[in-house]
C-alpha cells in the first residue's frame, strides 16, 4: 500500500506541474499584452482623442491576433513543450552545477542547443516514472518479499534513467563518425581552394556552404564566430571542443600553430589532408576487421537455423514417418 501511495503522489505531482506551467504561461502572455497596452497608451498620451481611439483599436487587434496565434499553435507547442521546459528548469535547479555543465556539454556534442537540457531532463524523468510504474504493475500480484519487490521497481526506474542517456550517447557517436567521414573531403577541398588563391576563411565559407552534415554546420558556426569579432584561434578551439574528434583537434592545432609561426598555410593543409586521409583509411580497415565478429550473432540466431531446417527437415520428417509406420 505504501508503494501505491508513493506512485499516486508522484503521478499527482506531475499532473500538477503540467497544469501549473500551462496556467503560468497563460498568465505571462496576459501580462505581456497588458504591458504592451500600457506602452502604447504612454506613447499616445500627447495625441488627440481620435488618435487614442485608433490606438485602442490597434491594441484590440493585436490582442485578438495574439489569441488567434495561440489557438493556431499545435497542442505540443502550447502544452507539452512548455511543460517539458518548466519541469526541466526546476529539476536542474535542484541538481549540482557540475551535472548541468556535463549535460550541456553532451547536448553540444550531440549537435543540440544548451537550452535543450531541460527537455532532456524531462524525458529522463518521464522514462523513469513510466518504467518504474510498469515494473511495479508487473510485480504487483507476486508473493515475493517486500525488499525484492522494491528492488525490482528500482531496477525499472534505473532502466528508465539509463535509456535516454544511452540514446544520447549513441547520437553523439553517430555525429562524431559523420564528422570523421567528411573531414578528409573537407581538407582536400581546402587544399585546392587555398592553392587556387583563396584565403582560409573564404575557402572555408565556400566549402561549408556547399556541404551538408555536422562538420559543415560546425564550420559555418566557426566562421560566424569570427565574423562576430572572435579571434580565429578561439573560434577554431571552440569548433574542436564542440566536435571532440581527435582528427579535428589535430587539424585545429596545426592551423593555429601555422598562423602563430607565420608558415605557409597551404603546405600545412596538404600535410594535414594526407595525415587525415591515412587515418581515415586505417579507421575504415579497423571497421572492416570488426565485421566478421559482428556477423557471428545474426549468423547463429537467424541463418544457421534456417539452413538446418532446409537441409535436415525432410530427413527428419522421413525418419518420423518410418517410425510411425512401424
Domain ranges, ordered by start, for the chain:
1-72, 175-291
Count Cα neighbours of 297 within 13 Å in the Cβ-side half-sphere.
4
Q: What is the DSSP letter of 47?
A: S
Residue 192: band (very low, low, confident or very high) from pLDDT cuts 50, 70, 90: confident
- Give the DSSP per-residue string, 235-292: HHHHHHHHH--HHHHHHHHHHHHHHHHT--HHHHHHHHHHHHHHHHHHHHHHHHHHHH
The CA distance from 213 to 179, in Å, is 8
The mean-pLDDT minimum among 70-74, 77-81, 132-136, 192-196 falls in 70-74
> Alpha-carbon dihedral of residues 140, 141, 143, 145, nearest 10 degrees?
0
The CA distance from 252 to 231, in Å, is 13
pLDDT given at position 49? 46
The CA distance from 94 to 302, in Å, is 48
pLDDT given at position 54? 40
Q: Who wins on pLDDT, 86 or 10?
A: 86
Q: What is the largest CA-CA distance in the chain?
A: 114
Q: Is residue 259 a contact partner of residue 265, using CB atoms and an 8 Å limit? A: yes
Contact residues for 163 (Cβ-Cβ < 8 A; gap 6+): 127, 131
The CA distance from 66 to 57, in Å, is 14
Q: What is the DSSP letter of 82?
A: H
Residue 47: band (very low, low, confident or very high) from pLDDT cuts 50, 70, 90: very low
Q: State the residue for C-alpha cell 531541460.
A: 118
Q: What is the DSSP letter of 115?
A: G
Question: Which of 276, 264, 235, 7 lies closest to 132, judged by CA?
Answer: 7
What is the b/e burial string over 149-168, where b = at least 16 CB atoms within 10 angstroms of the residue's CB?
Answer: beebbeebbeebbeebeeeb
The CA distance from 97 to 100, in Å, is 5
State the CATH architecture for 175-291: Up-down Bundle (1.20)
What is the b/e burial string over 263-288, where b = at least 16 CB atoms within 10 angstroms of the residue's CB?
Answer: eebbebbbebbebbeebbeeeeeeee
CA 224 to the chain's CA centroid = 22
The mean-pLDDT minimum among 50-54, 185-189, 220-224, 273-277 falls in 50-54
* pTM for this entry: 0.64
Amino acid at each position: 500500500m505504501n508503494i501505491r501511495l508513493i506512485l499516486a503522489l508522484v503521478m499527482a505531482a506531475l499532473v500538477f506541474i503540467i497544469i501549473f506551467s500551462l496556467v503560468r504561461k497563460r498568465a505571462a502572455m496576459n501580462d505581456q499584452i497588458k504591458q504592451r497596452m500600457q506602452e502604447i497608451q504612454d506613447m499616445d498620451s500627447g495625441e488627440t482623442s481620435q488618435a487614442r481611439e485608433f490606438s485602442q483599436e490597434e491594441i484590440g487587434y493585436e490582442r485578438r491576433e495574439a489569441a488567434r496565434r495561440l489557438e493556431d499553435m499545435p497542442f505540443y507547442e502550447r502544452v507539452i513543450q512548455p511543460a517539458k521546459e518548466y519541469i526541466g528548469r526546476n529539476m536542474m535547479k535542484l541538481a549540482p552545477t557540475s551535472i548541468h555543465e556535463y549535460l550541456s556539454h553532451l547536448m553540444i556534442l550531440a549537435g543540440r542547443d544548451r537550452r535543450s537540457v531541460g527537455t532532456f531532463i524531462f524525458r529522463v524523468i518521464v522514462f523513469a516514472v513510466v518504467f518504474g510504474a510498469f515494473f511495479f504493475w508487473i510485480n504487483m500480484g507476486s508473493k515475493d518479499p517486500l525488499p525484492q519487490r522494491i528492488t525490482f521497481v528500482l531496477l525499472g526506474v534505473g532502466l528508465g534513467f539509463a535509456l535516454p542517456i544511452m540514446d544520447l550517447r549513441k547520437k553523439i557517436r553517430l555525429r562524431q563518425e559523420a564528422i570523421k567521414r567528411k573531414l578528409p573531403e573537407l581538407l582536400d577541398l581546402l587544399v585546392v581552394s587555398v592553392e587556387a588563391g583563396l584565403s582560409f576563411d573564404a575557402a572555408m565559407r565556400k566549402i561549408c556552404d556547399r556541404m551538408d552534415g555536422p562538420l559543415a554546420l560546425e564550420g559555418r558556426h566557426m566562421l560566424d564566430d569570427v565574423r562576430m569579432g572572435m579571434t580565429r584561434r578561439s573560434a577554431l578551439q571552440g569548433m574542436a571542443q564542440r566536435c571532440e574528434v581527435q582528427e579535428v583537434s589535430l587539424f585545429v592545432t596545426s592551423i593555429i600553430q601555422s598562423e602563430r609561426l607565420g608558415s605557409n598555410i597551404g603546405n600545412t593543409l596538404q600535410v594535414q589532408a594526407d595525415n587525415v586521409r591515412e587515418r581515415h583509411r586505417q579507421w575504415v580497415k579497423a571497421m572492416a576487421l570488426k565485421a566478421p565478429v559482428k556477423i557471428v550473432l545474426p549468423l547463429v540466431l537467424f541463418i544457421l537455423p534456417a539452413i538446418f531446417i532446409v537441409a535436415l527437415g525432410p530427413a527428419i520428417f522421413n525418419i518420423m514417418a518410418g517410425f510411425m509406420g512401424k
